[in-house]
Chains A and B, each alone.
Chain A
Amino acid sequence: MTEVEAIAHKLARQQKEISVAEFFERNKHILGFGNPTRSLLTSVKEGVDNVLDACEESGILPEIYVEIKNHEDGECRLIIEDNGPGIIKKQVPHIFGRLLYGSRFHAIRQSRGQQGIGISAVVLYSQLTTGKHAKITSKIQEDRPATVTELAIDTNRNRAEVISRAIVHWEKPSGTRLEVSIVADYKRGKRFVYDYLQSTSIVNPHAQITFKEPDGTEHLFERTSETIPKKPIEIKPHPQGIELGTLIKIAKGTKSRRLSSFLKSEFSSMGDRTTKAVCEKAQLDRGLDPKKMSREQFLTLHKAFKKVKIMAPSTDCLSPIGEILIKRSLKHQTQEISPEFIYTASRPTSVFSGSPFQIEVGIVYGGSLPKDKSVRLLRFANRVPLLYQQGDCVSTAAISSIDWRRYGFDQSSGKGIPSGPAIFFTHMSSTLIPFTSESKEAIADIPEIESEIKLAFRECARKVQSHIHKEVKRVKTREKFDLITKILPEIAKKSSDMLGKPVPSLDAVITKIMDVIWIEDLIECEKTSSKPVQATLFEDSSENIDGGWITKSTILVVNYKNMPQKFNLYALIPEDAVVGTVTPKPAKITSRYIKWNLDAIDPANKVDISFELAGLDKGDFDENDLYIENINASYVIGADKWEGE
């Protein structure tokens, strides 16, 4: 044996498999366990994300209980309890005691945890820092007892080591409770845990979360929606953006014998026509056996995917929150700020590297938010709050590249995060969130995503701008109201008093000063236990209206011009609303608007208009969107020009 050979053999004796647990131990900072503050949050986060996913899959409205007990020597006892489906005895060691074990890793659909490193990493971290065992209580059925398992992780084998197992009585119908001891900095980490739970509640309005601090203080993040998010379904990979290697791997494992059936069965959005177009573009015979294709043939196929127009992947695999729910939970969570308004925008589904994604954004504006500070960014991916690495996130980049000065915000040189009394909300739903690192705190800078976020924020910002614009106009007109209702009568009184003459009538002068048609509106909500007065107008009104809210909108139109005015008025209504009583008789009602043809209103005369909406929650409809037609829009305050449907 030569000397070189001897070294190679020596090296070979040293080379051995590194256990995943060992890998974790050395790289815990990448996984969010870098320091005691961070570790506390990561542990809570992994636990809560897990619960939310499990509840969603089993159609349960989640009730989550998080408790932290603080011990003096920097050790915390963390308890996370849920009302989920529970875990069968046999699976407990795998789920809590084995890294990279999960049911969601291979599925292409939206979920919170993706890599499955989640909860077991918490158990491992606990073991590494305190040497204590994790305790898991789980119950799967109402009439059966619960199982308590204490376990440790054998880091060499990446397997759980069950220390003890017992049967206990548990009041809960079903659920899981995890108790771990970890080294964590509670004092510093507390705020992050609170923020995380609050943010989680914003994007999971169907969840109820209770947080108990070591001193016994309890915070309740209430549920604002009783609807469990639609369960995202699994889809096949979309051909656009798939890696060449993945394509070859799928072909190796397919049961299809022909290229055309392979494409149709293994990928999404591939119908007959698209399949034909792709094959023609690649100049490949549709009858080819995919298992026998050469690398060059795959390469031309791969190229052809990009040249042919392929329908976007179906959105069934995504579960966006929805504009109404975002608005509702933002409103609920920002109550103490009492914001002036909240606007949201939602983009259609788009694709990056074969993965469908959808962007939803929101802007909370005004109230007690500081005017001179940078706006606060709330970032979410698949309903999980992202709390760290804001600077590395694509959403930050997208927001920074918009010139916000145009929309009434302060921003030096038109770049960077703007200043103003606002909170910016971004949510990305996708089958695959391209995080910058394993700690899953920032979304990578992918042009398709950045562009969608920008488009969404621009749309939202335009709403903000138009609101502010309308407000300014209203303030100006309100000043005129002061003028005609308070000051002018005083002037008249004073001058007549001085001259000892009767006070003249002011109607004509008032009309001259105002010289507008003034539209003012008011929205009120009232709780109802009866059905709406009028029969519903739409077939799709199966929603439960009993015991809900009736939203009543009142509109006042006053003609302050010196000629009679005749025009059409439109009031937009939310799509899922059911229209009740409308006065006066409308000319038309559609699913989007109510239209009135207003007959000539004489100078200094007014018209009262009202309509009722059912099927909405309190606050869902809090601002009228009014439009006018057949009249010069500059005559009118309080409504914009109708641009058609």
Chain B
Amino acid sequence: MPRDFTKVIEKIDLIAEKVYNDLKSSEIPHLKLPTRTKTNIRFDEKLNVWKYGGNTTERSAKSLDGAYMMLRTMYMVDFIKDMIKANKSSTLREMYYISEGWDLAKFHSQPESDSLAEDLEVITSCMREDFKLRPEEDGARVIGNFTLEEMTRNKTKKKIHCQDDVGDSGYTIPYNVEPEKITFKGADADFILAVETGGMFDRLVENGFDKQHRAIIVHLKGQPARSTRRFIKRLHDEKKLPVLVFTDCDPWSYRIFGSVAYGAIKTAHISEYLATPAAQYLGVTPSDIENYKLPTDKLSKEDIHALKSELSDPRFQDRFWKHEIKLQLSLGKKSEQQALAKYGLDYVTDTYLPEKLAEMGMLKK
């Protein structure tokens, strides 16, 4: 069943119309969009996630940079429109390379074009998928006792059991995890454990943690891709499984948790699609450093700056985070998931995780 893109085209044309009408009525063309910084995210009580607040930024053609931005916007919406009409899609990177041919409107780097694509989502309230744009990287992995059904490129449905039908590296999460592509069937697990590093994911798999503790283990691969977050959210919502996040003990890892649980600042316009507000942070916490006497590194200048910035981040204002961040600042230290190996390769699965899970009421000791 081909999707209907009429609405998307209408919304894209609205941008062109806005610019055109400005010019026609002798106004300097300008576009308004929500300010995408941490000072402009508000907690949405109804959706239970963090969304953009009321502050807006104006993109005006009055300055040279603004005019370039406007021209690029025009080129990008035109490109998207063409893609929709031709029933094609492209990766963000492909679009960046295509933009090389846009003459004056070309970008200097891919983050610029990625960021403009996000702007367009915000302005039109569409999703990247509506624009037929996708990221190149996916590759986040999942392993656990559940079955999903994937619509393959041959348009046939394929059932996959994420323990029995996959190798030790698990099932690879595709960039599109919407119901048209993936549906969840049976699941027999107690919780989802989202893990930051590949090394730890492999350690848990090797030690049989998924089987022993009835867990679905998801590899976040650093800052998780949209599809990974969307996958976790759907699995949580549809199978009613609690989500626990297990990362390194440093400010950047807390941001990973933040984007899983609260919504990322960059994608706050679609937080309700991506965030899992019920997700809990398991560790490694600054308290763990002390309790487990973990090997540490000194906090760098950037780490300290990031921690302080988190203290003023509206998403980290609860007692738990305030306490842990302040503790870490006073310790002046950070640690890694894999530092637990200090006590042996099985320590994390035999001791640390069971203790933490029991503490959080997930496991009975």
A residues adjacent to B (C-beta < 8 A) = 479-480, 482-483, 486-488, 490-492, 494-499, 501, 504, 506, 508-509, 512-513
Nearest first, the 4 A-B pairs at minimum CB distance are A508-B26, A494-B74, A495-B20, A498-B16
In the complex, which residues 58-82 of chain B have their Cβ closer than 8 Å to any Cβ of chain A?
61-64, 67-68, 70-71, 74-75, 77-78, 81
Contact residues in A for B78 (Cβ distance below 8 Å) = 494, 497-498
CB distance B28 to A498 under 8 Å?
Answer: no
Interface pairs (21), CB distance under 8 Å: A480-B64, A483-B67, A486-B104, A487-B68, A487-B70, A488-B61, A488-B67, A490-B74, A490-B105, A491-B19, A491-B61, A492-B20, A494-B74, A499-B13, A504-B24, A509-B28, A509-B29, A512-B26, A512-B27, A512-B28, A513-B28
CB of B32 to closest CB in A, whole Å: 17
CB of A232 to closest CB in B, whole Å: 56
Q: A488-B61, A495-B74 are in contact. List 13 more A-B contacts (CB 8 A).
A: A482-B64, A486-B104, A487-B67, A491-B23, A491-B71, A492-B20, A494-B74, A494-B75, A495-B17, A495-B19, A506-B23, A509-B27, A513-B28
Please report the C-alpha to C-alpha distance between residue A356 and residue B220 in the assembled complex, in whole angstroms.
Answer: 83
Assuming the contacts A487-B67, A491-B71, asked whether A496 and B28 have C-beta atoms less than 8 A apart, the reply is: no
User: Smallest CB-CB separation from A493: which chain B residue?
Assistant: B74
The tally of CB-CB contacts under 8 A between chains A and B is 72
Contact residues in B for A496 (Cβ distance below 8 Å) = 20
User: Smallest CB-CB separation from A512: which chain B residue?
Assistant: B28
Among B26, B27, B68, residue most surrounded by chain A Cβ atoms (within 10 Å):
B26
Interface residues on B, range: 20 to 34
Among B17, B74, B78, B104, residue most surrounded by chain A Cβ atoms (within 10 Å):
B74
CB of A511 to closest CB in B, whole Å: 9
Please report the C-alpha to C-alpha distance between residue A213 and residue B362 in the assembled complex, in whole angstroms.
Answer: 93
Contact residues in A for B29 (Cβ distance below 8 Å) = 491, 509
Contact residues in A for B81 (Cβ distance below 8 Å) = 498
Interface of A is mostly: helix
Please report the C-alpha to C-alpha distance between residue A497 and residue B74 in the assembled complex, in whole angstroms.
Answer: 10
Contact residues in B for A483 (Cβ distance below 8 Å) = 61, 63-64, 67
Please report the C-alpha to C-alpha distance between residue A504 and residue B77 in the assembled complex, in whole angstroms.
Answer: 20
In the complex, which residues 31-69 of chain B have their Cβ closer than 8 Å to any Cβ of chain A?
61-64, 67-68
Please report the C-alpha to C-alpha distance between residue A498 and residue B62 in the assembled complex, in whole angstroms.
Answer: 22
CB distance B64 to A504 under 8 Å?
Answer: no
CB distance A479 to B64 under 8 Å?
Answer: yes
CB distance B104 to A490 under 8 Å?
Answer: yes
CB of B311 to closest CB in A, whole Å: 37
Please report the C-alpha to C-alpha distance between residue A479 and residue B63 in the assembled complex, in whole angstroms.
Answer: 9
Contact residues in A for B74 (Cβ distance below 8 Å) = 490-491, 494-495, 498
CB of B84 to closest CB in A, whole Å: 13
Please report the C-alpha to C-alpha distance between residue A553 and residue B81 in the assembled complex, in whole angstroms.
Answer: 52
CB of B63 to closest CB in A, whole Å: 8
Among A479, A480, A483, A506, residue most surrounded by chain B Cβ atoms (within 10 Å):
A483
Binary per-residue interface labels of chain B (1-23) against chain A in the complex, 1 for a CB within 8 Å, 0 otherwise: 00000000000010011011011
CB distance A509 to B23 under 8 Å?
Answer: yes
CB of B42 to closest CB in A, whole Å: 33
Please report the C-alpha to C-alpha distance between residue A497 and residue B19 in the assembled complex, in whole angstroms.
Answer: 12
CB distance B71 to A490 under 8 Å?
Answer: yes
Contact residues in A for B67 (Cβ distance below 8 Å) = 483, 487-488, 491
Please report the C-alpha to C-alpha distance between residue A479 and residue B13 in the assembled complex, in whole angstroms.
Answer: 29
User: Smallest CB-CB separation from B26: which chain A residue?
Assistant: A508
Contact residues in A for B16 (Cβ distance below 8 Å) = 494-495, 498-499
Contact residues in B for A513 (Cβ distance below 8 Å) = 28, 61-62
